[in-house]
Amino acid sequence: MSGNAREAILAAGRLSAQSHGYGGLNMRELAAEVGIKAASIYHHFPSKADLAAAIAERYWQDTKAWLEEVAAANGDPKAALKKYPETFRMSLENGNRLCLGSFLGAEYDDLPEQVRQQVQTFADVNIGWLADRLVDAGLTDEKGSEAQARSIFAAVAGAQLLARSRSDISLFDTMIDSFQEAGLMPG
């Protein structure tokens, strides 16, 4: 409708993809949510692959902006790191949804190349941000920071995946606590 069908498609598409993945992203349903016909989506995106790539691109851009806000608002890098799991937690709160990067990561074999690239960038954004905080906090040397950052990213994503399949956010919180107590990430 009116203002911007493209933006409405992106927003609804993101939510659907976080619930059902790339394969489960349904063009007719998505169109209905936006108030148009499925064929009309193709006026805004040349294909489902391009739509998914645009959704994933927007997803990492939003994530990056959020992470930068967190870093700016928390001078202490340890305090910033403590906030990191919050986006994953919000996905669970918002309809028990999965991180889009995790869902698309699972579907990686069947993903069009454009989508794969955005999934990689999403991971790079997360790992890069974490590595920068870890170095700033003096928790790792520069050499090992990326490896440590990757481990944190993977562990938090894994915790979200498991908590989601039980529809139980408290499990997510407990797992994050365990990671922090073990010293995998600062708490």
Sites of contact with a second copy (CB under 8 A)? 19-21, 23-24, 96, 98, 102-103, 105-110, 119-120, 123, 147-148, 150-151, 153-159, 161-166, 171, 174-175, 177-179, 182-184
Angle between helix axes 142-165 and 113-136 (nearest 10 degrees) is 120
Rounded Cα distance between 132 and 45, Å, is 35
What one-letter code names the amino acid at 177?
D
Binding of DNA by 65 (CB under 7 A) = no
Residue placing its CB nearer to DNA in the complex, 57 or 168:
57
Binding of DNA by 33 (CB under 7 A) = no
Rounded Cα distance between 187 and 78, Å, is 8
Q: Which of 10, 17, 25, 98 contacts DNA by CB under 7 A?
A: 25
Give how many residues touch DNA by CB under 7 A: 22
Place of tokens 């349903």: 29
Q: What, of DNA, a second copy, none, does residue 180 touch, CB below 5 to 8 Å by kind?
A: none
Rounded Cα distance between 51 and 14, Å, is 10
Binding of DNA by 42 (CB under 7 A) = yes
Residue placing its CB nearer to DNA in the complex, 25 or 155:
25
Strand, helix or coil for residue 35: coil
